[in-house]
């Protein structure tokens, strides 16, 4: 925020957007392909860390990821309907 406060959500009023600066976070990437991976164990550790960080930042579990453009290239990490 312009007054130096750090916020984790976007202000509702567009009038409050001026002066906001994003906080970028850098994470290690991976050179191994994830294309077509069907099992969680087939993902590189850096990819798993990335998914975990998304969950931490959003407070929401990542249940499904895609590893390619085809609908069959979808990995269900957790059943989204199993509460």
CA atoms within 13 A on the CB side of 43: 19
Which backbone phi and psi does 77 adopt, to 5 degrees?
A: -80, -40
- Alpha-carbon distance of 4 to 70, in angstroms, equals 44
**Can you say which residues are annotated as belonging to the binding site?**
66-68
Q: Which residues contribute to the annotated binding site for GTP?
A: 66-68
């Amino acid at each position: 925020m312009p007054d130096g406060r750090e916020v984790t959500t976007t202000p509702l009023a567009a009038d409050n957007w001026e002066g906001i600066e994003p906080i970028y976070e850098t994470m290690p990437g991976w050179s191994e392909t994830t294309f077509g991976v069907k099992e969680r164990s087939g993902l590189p550790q850096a990819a798993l860390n990335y998914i975990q960080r998304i969950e931490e930042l959003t407070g929401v579990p990542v249940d499904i990821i895609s590893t390619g453009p085809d609908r069959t290239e979808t990995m269900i990490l957790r059943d989204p309907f199993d509460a």
